[in-house]
Every structure is written in C-alpha cells, then in structure tokens.
Structure 1
Amino acid sequence: MNSNNTLRNLRNIGVIAHVDAGKTTTTERILFYTGENHRIGDVNDGNTAMDFDPQERARGITIHSVATTVHWQGTQINLIDTPGHIDFNLEVRRSLRVLDGAVVVFDGVAGVEPQTETNWRLADEYRVPRLAFVNKLDRTGADFHRVVASLEDRLGVRALPLQLPIGAEAEFRGVVDLLTMQALVWDRDDAKVPPRVAAIPPELLPAAQAARARLLEAAAELDDALLDAWLRGAELPVDALRAALRRGTIAGAFVPVLAGSAFRNRGVEPLLDAVVAYLPAPGEAPGAAASEGPLSALAFKLTADDHGAMVFVRVYSGTLKRGDTVFNASTGKPERVARLYEIHADRRVERDALVAGDIAGVVGLKDVLTGHTLAATKDAPVLESIAVPAAVIDVAIEPRQQADAAALAKGLGVLVREDPSLRLRQDADSGQTLLSGMGELQLEVAVEKLRSRFGVDVAVGRPQVAYRETITAPAEVRHVHRKQSGGPGQFAELTLRIAPLPRGEGFRFSNTVVGGAIPREFIPAVEAGLRQAAQAGPFAGHPLVDFEAVLVDGSAHVRDSSALAFELAAAHALREAALKAAPAVLEPVMAVEVVTPAESVGDVIGDLLRRRGQVQGQDARGNAVVVTAHVPLARMFGYIGQLRALSSGRAQFTMQLSHYAEAPATSATLAA
C-alpha cells in the first residue's frame, strides 16, 4: 500500500442506519456477493457472520461495531457494520471517526428515522461522504420518492437518485440505472442469479428521463467540459459522468441515492459498484491527513478476550510493523506491537505490517485507550480524539457472593475500558458501586456480559436517572487548609471563584494567580482537587457540571505546603463555593418520537403531556402519525407498556438524549 495507485484501490467504509432498517442484512449480502461468505446469514435465524456475539444473535440486533475485509472489482473494502440502537451510539461515533465513507441504509417505509438522523449529524461532524441505500422497497407502504424527499427535508442535503425502482411493494423487481439508461431486473430472489439487463419499461421512461436530466445537471455543475457539452446538448460520456459524481459525493455537494431490497437480494451488486465508484480512497476525503511522513495512527476501539486485549487502529501515515516499539503520544509512554491482524468479523488474518489507510487490530499494547494516538515519537502531534456521549441512567451493582468481588471489579474494569460510554463511580452516601450508561439496554447487555464472560452472578438495582448538579450564580470563597499533628504539617490557602457555564460545557479551570503566591508545581493539584470534588456535588451528591473555576489567589508555606494539601484545599473550597452559588439539579430530557395509528394520536399526546412532555410536532408517515416530544427521562420508565395499551399494541417509540435541563423543585427534592 505504498503507492497512490494502491490507495485508489482501497475503501474504508461503514454501514449505518436506524435499528431494523436492514443494515446487517445488507452487510450479509455484501459478504456473500464479494465471496467472503459462501452462504447468506439471516438475522432472524441468528446465524449472521457480522452479529456473531451470542447476545446479538439472541436479541436480533447489532451491539458491537464489527470490521471485515472484502474485495470487489479489484478494490479492497474494509467494512465496519455499526449498531442501530441509540444505546450503542459510541460504536457509530468511533467508527465514523476513522472511516473515509459510509453507506446509510434507510427503511423504504419509514424513511429518515431518529437514529439515522443522529448518525447523519455525526457523519457531518467527521466530514464523511455518504451513499444512501433505500432498502425494503418490497414492503407494503414503501415509497422511494417519499424517502428521497425526507432526506432533503429532514437532513438538509441534496439527494441525487442514481436509480429509480421498477415496481412497488410486493411487485418491486428491479431498478433503472440513470447513468446507462438501462433496466436491471431480478426475475428471482436467488442471490446466485445476477440481474437481467433490459430496456426501461415504457411507463417509466418519462420519469427516468427527467431524473437523468437532474443527474446530468448536478454532474455538469462540477466540470466545465461537461457543462459545455451539456449546454450544447451533446451526449455526456458515462465515465466522465461517474468521475464528476465522484467529486461531488466526496465534496458533499450531493448524496447519491440507490434502491433495493437486501433481503430479496435486489440492488446489492449496484450498491457495491457505487461504493467503488463514488466513495473516497484514503487521503481523498475532506480534511484527510497526509499519508506521507512518520507513523501516526488512532486507536478507536478495544476488545478483550482470554488471549488479551486487541486495539483496533486506523493508520493515517507511516508504517506499523510487527515487533515495533512505538509511542502513545497521548501519554508519552512506549508500547510494543506483538501482532497485527486483518479482521474478518470473528476471524483474524495475521499481517506483518500496516501502512497508511489500513484499519486493523493490534495485540500487545498495554495502556492504550480509545482515542489515543500511536506515533513514532512520544512528542508527536496527537490526533483528534473521540467524544464520549453522556451517561443518563445508573444502576447499583454488587456481587451476590462476596467471594466474587474481585472478579466483579476485574470485569467492570474491562467493560469500561472497552466501552468508554459506560461509567463507574461510588455513591457518596451508600457506598454502592454505580454503573452508568446511555440506556437500559446498554446496561442490560453489560450485566449479561459480567455473567457470561466473567462468571460473576450480580445483583442489580432498579435503573435510576443519572442526575447532574450545577450552579446558577457566581460565588467566591477563601479557604485555608491547615493540619498539624506532629511531624510535617499541611498548609494551603487559596481563593476560588466559580461561575455557571452554558449547558453542556462541562468544567473549565483557569489560574490567575500572579507573583508566585502559589508555586507553579501546585497548580495541577488544585485542578485535580476540583475535578475530584466535582464528581459528587454538595447539594445531592450528583456530579457537578457546567461551571468554571478560577484560582484567584492564595499562599503557601515553605515547609508544610504540598500538592496533597492544595488538592484537599481545592476540594473543600469548591464544596463551600457551590453551596453559595445557588445549586440546582439537572435532569436528562429525551427527544422522543412516537409512531402511532392516527386514531391513537390524541391519547398518545395526552399521555406525553402527563409525563411533563413538551410536544414538538406531529407529521404523517404513510398511514401513521409521528409525534415528537421532549420528555424528562424520569417519566419514561415503563413507557412501552402504557403506549401499547393506548394503541392496542400498534404504536412504537424511540428516544435519545436531547439535553439536560433544570429539574422542577419536586424532582430536585426527590433527587436529593
């Protein structure tokens, strides 16, 4: 992989979607058509290659992002299948961070769904070019054109169909290729039978000509020669069109849209063609790092098994060889590379070296975490890390047998290292160990892993809302920490000023001490003390967030001052100041989307209002109505049962964190 020609023959892509859009089914077909698998796995049968974890097969959902390597038309495709459920959104986030392109799968009936929109915004954040694949067009109520319109309306993109479906719902049997103006028809659902090339059905010809005109216009806008030919009415070469569409896709000028039904083996081969034709090779994506120069690689995922830990990395420049000693630029510590593996779902193929563009597994790294940078030198630039979503639900967890306490601690340590969106903390009042996560399903999965992987039988408390504390006014305190009990004493004096920050800003520290009143070596200890104290706020013991702390002044003793003394002083000062700064409890507010039959809309909205919900709007989706609302998480426990009762079992809902907001006084009292 040292030549640019080789880089052009590599694609690093992810497959992302809302849960149940057919993402894993699409990936399984890709494995079959590329020859990686010789049989097609089925989600319902629990025998998929990508969802190989026992919990994934039992639940019928993707929990972990899984990498594999396939080949199509002489191009190597490193593919990552990502989860669709919001509780496992970190898996999508860290995959998009290292990918060059993505295929976004849409349900042909539902169109743009909440998690699709969330993942789309993440792809925007990481500037990842995308293809859209409208799936399940064989289902009752599927509408390709409605989905295309929803892409433009809800995602704010220019959706550019490269195909039009032939037939609708149960009669969906093929697509019109708008570049070649030919029909591809699948006469049978047999994956081993390629599509038949045919003339466009006469009834579709006017629509195909109009759609092709829009496609030609989009391509011509990006190429002066094509524009001139188009204005003259000349025929545009297909290869030149593809090259222009590739440039537009990579630049984000538009999103190509393809059609199909992965379950019925229709439309997957053209999708693979589009991946090769339109998604970028390493180095081509917007903002891509240069591939020349010394080693630079990002660790984006960790897994642990009986053989030790494997770190998944994306190499951005240089070469990583088996046996190399490299540096973790995020910590400055050396690390030794024991083995390198190309990943094929649950299989591994050993490699001697990785080069720019490679995504692979590394064994032997001891202290590397998600988001760390591997480099040739310890002072090398650190790559942009991976943001971790906020935890919103806590459960208390303890071993049923005290003899399992050590095994539980080890298991929790492994899970938190693998998944940074899981958090561990001790309750200040009860001393219980609290495991926090993004949702009930994520915590259920974590608990099951403790039982199955680590053999620990655990007792788990009821899920509770992960409240936060904040301050609503500024405050300033002077605190003196003095302790003398024989031998060296402890002395630290400091003046601390705190003030509220906007929601979501977290914690910010600054030092304005002048003249060396506090020796420079003690300043980090002050910040450490503040961070430690913020883990349990003074009002109700919840983490203290969204505030800034300024070290204004202080003094030190030549013999009795120490880093520990200033750390303790800072912690006490923050607690004093926070109690003076009008503390408040924050609660997580969820963005809720309910899809319900029209006759149940009134009951659904009334129930959401009783839950302190604020209805944001309602829209038609096929023969159903979509109600969107912001509802406090504390009022959403057990909601699915009530929703089924209100709709005779026909409604469904999804939710994800929207924001934290100040809780009413009654909630704050309960939280305390």
Structure 2
Amino acid sequence: MNKSIRNIGVIAHVDAGKTTTSERILFHTGKNYRIGDVNHGDTTMDFDEQERRRGITINSAATTVFWKGAQINLIDTPGHIDFNIEVNRSLRVLDGAIVVFDGVAGVEPQTETNWRLADRYHVPRIAFVNKLDRIGADFPRVVTMIGERLGVRTAVLQWPIGAEGGFEGVVDLLTQRALTWTSEDVGGNLHEGPVPAHLQGVVQAQRAKLLDAIVEQDDDVLAAFLEGREPTVAQLQACIRKGTLAGAFVPVLAGAAFKNKGVEPLLDAAVAYLPAPGEVAAQAGQPEADPDGPLAALAFKVVSDTSGTMVYVRVYRGRLRPGDVVLNTNTGRRERIARLYEVHANKVEERSVIEAGGIAAVVGLKDTVTGHTLADPAAPLVLETITVPEPVIDVAVEPKTQADQQHLGKALAAMVREDPSLRVRQDAESGQTLLSGMGELQLEVSIEKLRSRHHVEVNVGRPQVAFRETLTRAVEVTHLHKKQSGGPGQYAEVTLQFEPLPRGEGVVFENRTVGGAVPREFVPAVEAGVRRAAQTGVVAGYATEDFRVSLVDGRFHERDSSTVAFELAAAAAFREAAVQAGPVLLEPVMAVEVITPADFVGDVLGDLSRRRGLVRGQDTRGNAAVVDAHVPLKEMFGYIGHLRAMSSGRAQYTMQFDHYAEAPASVLDAVRSR
C-alpha cells in the first residue's frame, strides 16, 4: 500500500466555492502557473464549454497534484442536484473528501445530500468553511449547523482572525500560532506569528474543547492528558487522523479560497488526516490495496467523444498495464486494455502501469460501463456497484432531418452510457422518443450536447413529469396461456401473488413454488414477463413499481411449454392483477428550500400553498428567511420567474427530488386527458 497517495474529492452545494478551491489547490501545488477564475470562464477543472458559459460544474474532473511528498488524486465534483450522479460515482471510488461550506449560507440542501452519499460509501472527510471574507459570514454559526444538521461531532482545528472584510487568516489551535495572509495575491504571503491578544481567551477555550474531543482516540494520550500532561502536536495530529478515519468527528478548517487565504493549511490537513488507499478498505467493503495481488478495479465513469471512448477506473488491488486482458465480472466478457492515461482535467499523459490506489483513464474497453468490475480472470470478484437515481422528468426529442434520424439513436446511446442517470425510451402510445433525467438543467445540457458534440439537430417538447404507478392492495391471480396453431403449441400457467411495498423499494420478485410446479429454467421468464409488463401501467401507461410479486404455483406441459410462453403468461397475469390491486398514480415530490428577504415570506408561503406545497419549517439565515417545503414537481415548472417577480428579484431557491407520493384525482384526470 502506497501511504503517500490521497484520492480526494471536493464536494459542496452549488456556489459554495468548490471549483475555486480546487483551482487554488492546483496553483499552490505548482500544477498550474496561473489561477483560473469561474467568473472569467478560464478554470482548469471546468473545461467543458457549457461549464464555462454557465459558470457551474457539470462533469466531475480529475487531476493529480503533489504536496510535501504526497500524491493527491483530486476530483472536483458538481454542486447542482441535476448532476448528482457525478458526485455519487466519484465518492464511490474516493478514499476521502473535502466538503466546502459557504461561510454565509452554511449547510445547504445539496451539501446534505452529498454528505449522506459520503456516509453510504464510508468516506472520511474534512470540512472547509469558505468565503469568510463575505458580508454575513459567521464561522461559529456554520460549525453549529454542521453538527446539528449533519448529525456529526465537529473538531474545530482553526479559528478565524477577523470577519467579513477584515478576515486576515486563522489561528491553528494545535500549535497556537496565527497564520495570516497579508495580501490577496498568491505565493509567499503566508506569515506565522503569535495569537492576537484579543483572541487569546477564545483560542484557549476552543483548544480545550478540541483536546477533549480528540484525546479519546488514544488510551495512552488520554491517560497522560487526564494526569495533566500536555500531549505533543504530533500525538494530537495522530489522534485527529485516527478519529477522522473512524468517523468519530469531522475536522473543521476556515478560509477564503478566492482571496487565497487558508489553502495551504487545507492541503496540509488533507495529507495529514485523510486516508491513504486501503486504510478504510474493510469498512467500505473494498479489497486490501495490495499492488501484488490479483487485479480488482471499478469503472466509475465513461467519456465518449469523436476520438473514441475512455473509461475512468479506480484500481483497488493489483496492477493494470496496456495489453492486459481483464474480466468484466458483471458481463462475463473479457476485455483488453489498449492504453492507460493519467488525467489532468481535459489533458492526458500516457502511463505504462497503474498500481493499487491509482485512478486512470483506460482506452480499449468496449462493453464496460459505470459500476462494472474489472478483475483478473483467474480471481474474479464483483465490487459494490454505484447506485443510480431514478429520473423524474421527461422531454420528447425528435430529429429535424432524415440525416439526424440516422444519428439520433447512436448519439443517445452514447450519452446514456456516459451518464447512467439519463434514460431513453419510446412512448408506447405516441411513439415519441423520451429522454428522462433528474431535472430541467440536466436535460437542457444533454440536448445541447446532442447538438454541439454529436451534431444532431432535434426538436424538443416541453418538459413533462415522470409519473409512476403503484399497487395499493394485495391480490392473487392465476393466468393460463394456451395457444395451439398446428405443430408445437404454447402452454404456461402461473399463479402470482402481488402486494404493495413501501416507496422506493422497486419491484421485488420471489419464487415460492414447491415440487417443481414451474421448472427452474422457466422461473426467470416469469420474472422477466412481470417486469416487462410493469413498464406500462394500467392507470395512465407509466411504469409500475414498489410491489412484491411471488410465484406461488403453476403448471407446465412437457412439450408445449417454453420461456416465451411463461413470459407471456406472467405479463398477462400482471395486467389482470394491476386492475384489481387498486392502482394509483404517483408523482415526484421535491424538497424545496426558498431563501427570501423577510418582507416576502408571506407571499412565498402563500404561493407554495397554491402549488400544493407542504411547508415543513422556517428558519433564519443572516438577515434572510429560509422556507423548507415539499412541493410536487408538476407545480414547480416556471417557479423561478414567479419567485423573482414576487420578491423583486431578491429571493432564490433550490430543489431536489425527495420521494414519490400518490397524486390527487385532479392530476390523474389531467394526465389522462393529455
């Protein structure tokens, strides 16, 4: 295991300063000789034309930098909820994360979503409270929000010197030294000195609180501390590292990345406290990071362009070289590695080998997509895959010309391979091609990609809600499929039990037959028939989900039964059962957060109520009011225009998918009449 490697992601809510922080890291580590600016559209990590034009991160971008002898493989991820798949798959392959918080806004909705993803993948993280030079920045309040809203214990390592326009630097609570930046220019302006006299009291109090939190990580250090002996800085740093990796607490640092204040200590903390590959392998369900072991690697991103396809992989064990033949354990097929590249944003450098702990781009893989495991053919294993969220919004796309018709299918297939949170399907009734995604912005970006990258011109319909259907009652159905038309016939009888499941459970299939009532080779066909039929529900033609189907009995014919017959029987049984099982329409409900001047709170609440919204709470953030609500997605189209109009352009909002809920009769009638 190479203990000098750090695979780190930078994650945050949109506009918290994530890409700016990444750009400063590139400069201070010597990777770049000039600093990119999001506002000027010349950042290294946001290299895509749409990213620069929109001023947001759309694609996760990887690079490698070096800091004080450590190699840092850095991934800058998007902050907008529509591109959450990028954060999801990045966190799956990272060992640690820097979570950037806006010093004014604090913990924002997308930060919470990303934090839960990091919890799922057992990713240790450190918090960086950014933008402390802004009006309204409040470091203690943000630290309190992190503890309360994210449910974690914080270990504050730094205390800010000055606030807002007077922010000068930080006090390192471990060394009790002041780190100040005398100008906003970069390079050579970090100065170390004594703690300012007016901060002596608060620094002593915060340091005592910090020591209480971290000495618990080592019995010997704790015993010495209780006896009144001061631990050394090295001992305290070891305790912080141990607690961070175990998830006992989250170290918190402070700064203002745009003003080049706090970046060097942040890099020091990333190297000191975040794990090397393999250090948290057992907890995260990963193989040990042994470079001499059999290969185990995970594909986590696919990028296609006119020159071909590159697959980003994280090597967990063994080595990967050009020419290697690897087994894709998800498909059972062997693939050959043509070339290996180390990636720096949109530039690549060819490599002859990537060892355990490394991240690289591979050329030559034909059937490998996001979430697939690549392994030594002699030692196959399947790594935990990547969870892909379900889309909640559709748009119809149709080619403008015959030439576009020929290329549209290929272009859409390439885009879905790149971004598995996109879906493409044909509407059964209209025959239209529907592109589905997580939000309007993601679909807008995808349509632009069709035109700019794939050179396919399309007409685009209005965004539509991706409704679902579900069952509300348990039923049992027996269906006999029997057909005789000369020669071999078709015969299959199935008895299926259907019962509703909680939201988000999907479709669960169980085989509960005994005594060979349905031969084993036909059981997968029964499941396939139900799943295929469930794609078109009986209420309004939307996919039916959140139910369990159990195959409890059946009959077969020695000569006339086949997989096709059992699939058809199961599909017909589903359609019969769906009618009897109290089918209902489900609509996606969004978690909406509105930040508005207090003068407009009444208007905002009234408008949300008219949109069938359920207000869950109100809070204050600085001099603004924050309204937290659940609102059906159907009612949120065009909301930004209404919000700006009612608040004189001063309010803003964010929303993300929360859950599916039963739609009222009025919505069902409107859907059926379309």
- Please say whether Structure 1 and Structure 2 have the same fold, judged by a TM-score greater than 0.5: yes
Identity of aligned residues (%): 67
Distance 1:457 1:366 in 2: 27
Deviates further, 546-555 or 145-154: 546-555
- Runs of 5+ consecutive residues of structure 2 not aligned to the other structure: none
Q: Is the 8 A contact 1:332 1:378 kept in 2?
A: no
Which residue number corresponds to residue 132 of structure 2?
137
1:57 to 2:52 alignment:
yes
Distance 2:455 2:488 in 1: 48
Which residue number corresponds to residue 592 of structure 1?
592
1:256 to 2:251 alignment:
yes
Q: Deviations over 1:214-271 (max 9, x none)?
A: 1222221112222233223323211111111110111111111111111111100110
Distance 1:530 1:407 in 2: 32
Structure 1 residue 487, shift from structure 2 partner: 3.6
Structure 1 residue 496, shift from structure 2 partner: 1.7
Deviates further, 189-198 or 97-106: 189-198
Distance 2:29 2:578 in 1: 60
Which residue number corresponds to residue 153 of structure 1?
148
Structure 1 residue 615, shift from structure 2 partner: 0.4
Which residue number corresponds to residue 460 of structure 1?
460
Distance 2:505 2:443 in 1: 26
Q: Is the 8 A contact 1:114 1:654 kept in 2?
A: yes
Which residue number corresponds to residue 516 of structure 2?
516
Q: Deviations over 1:624-672 (max 9, x none)?
A: 0100001111111111111111111101000011110011111122223
Q: Is the 8 A contact 1:25 1:262 kept in 2?
A: yes
Q: Compared with structure 1, are the counterparts of its residues 262 and 606 closer, same or farther at alpha carbon in structure 2 (3 Å cutoff)? A: same
Which residue number corresponds to residue 35 of structure 1?
30
Distance 1:108 1:231 in 2: 35
Structure 1 residue 512, shift from structure 2 partner: 1.9
1:75 to 2:73 alignment:
no
Q: Is the 8 A contact 1:178 1:212 kept in 2?
A: yes
1:316-355 to structure 2, matched below 5 A, reads 316-355=316-355
Which residue number corresponds to residue 207 of structure 1?
202
Which residue number corresponds to residue 295 of structure 2?
295
Structure 1 residue 378, shift from structure 2 partner: 7.2
- Secondary structure of the residue aligned to 1:221 is helix
Distance 2:614 2:533 in 1: 34
Aligned length: 667
Distance 1:556 1:226 in 2: 71
Structure 1 residue 494, shift from structure 2 partner: 1.4
- Secondary structure of the residue aligned to 2:604 is helix
1:199-278 to structure 2, matched below 5 A, reads 199-278=194-273
1:284 to 2:282 alignment:
no
Q: Is the 8 A contact 1:328 1:378 kept in 2?
A: no
Deviates further, 399-408 or 435-444: 399-408
Distance 2:102 2:568 in 1: 55
1:177 to 2:172 alignment:
yes
Which residue number corresponds to residue 614 of structure 1?
614
Q: Deviations over 1:183-242 (max 9, x none)?
A: 111111111233111111100111111111112222211122222332233232111111
Distance 1:337 1:518 in 2: 43
- Secondary structure of the residue aligned to 1:44 is helix
Distance 1:32 1:339 in 2: 29
Distance 2:105 2:316 in 1: 37
Q: Deviations over 1:340-370 (max 9, x none)?
A: 1111111111111222111111111111111
Distance 1:362 1:534 in 2: 37
- TM-score in terms of structure 2 length: 0.97
Which residue number corresponds to residue 432 of structure 2?
432
Q: Deviations over 1:533-587 (max 9, x none)?
A: 1111122110110011111222222222221121122111111111111100000
1:232-631 to structure 2, matched below 5 A, reads 232-285=227-280, 286-287=283-284, 288-292=286-290, 293-377=293-377, 380-631=380-631
Distance 2:250 2:626 in 1: 25
Structure 1 residue 41, shift from structure 2 partner: 0.3
- Secondary structure of the residue aligned to 1:596 is strand
- Runs of 5+ consecutive residues of structure 1 not aligned to the other structure: none
1:669 to 2:656 alignment:
no
Which residue number corresponds to residue 101 of structure 1?
96
Q: Is the 8 A contact 1:329 1:379 kept in 2?
A: no
Q: Which residue identity lines up with residue 185 of structure 1 in the other structure?
A: T
Q: Is the 8 A contact 1:332 1:379 kept in 2?
A: no
Q: Is the 8 A contact 1:467 1:671 kept in 2?
A: no
Deviates further, 524-533 or 227-236: 227-236
Which residue number corresponds to residue 164 of structure 1?
159
Deviates further, 43-52 or 525-534: 525-534
Structure 1 residue 483, shift from structure 2 partner: 2.6
Structure 1 residue 379, shift from structure 2 partner: 7.0
Distance 1:399 1:569 in 2: 37
Q: Which residue identity lines up with residue 620 of structure 2 in the other structure?
A: A
Distance 1:154 1:497 in 2: 42
Q: Is the 8 A contact 1:333 1:378 kept in 2?
A: no
Deviates further, 24-33 or 396-405: 396-405
Distance 2:224 2:500 in 1: 60
Distance 2:227 2:473 in 1: 67
Structure 1 residue 411, shift from structure 2 partner: 0.6
Q: Deviations over 1:487-516 (max 9, x none)?
A: 432222212221111111000111122222
Distance 2:477 2:119 in 1: 43
2:9 counterpart (11, 14, 18): 14
Q: Deviations over 1:349-398 (max 9, x none)?
A: 11112221111111111111111111112772211111111111011111
CA RMSD of aligned residues (A): 1.2
- Secondary structure of the residue aligned to 1:176 is strand
Q: Which residue identity lines up with residue 541 of structure 2 in the other structure?
A: G
Q: Is the 8 A contact 2:59 2:78 kept in 1?
A: yes
Structure 1 residue 272, shift from structure 2 partner: 0.2
Distance 1:591 1:353 in 2: 45
Q: Is the 8 A contact 2:294 2:379 kept in 1?
A: no
Q: Which residue identity lines up with residue 165 of structure 2 in the other structure?
A: A
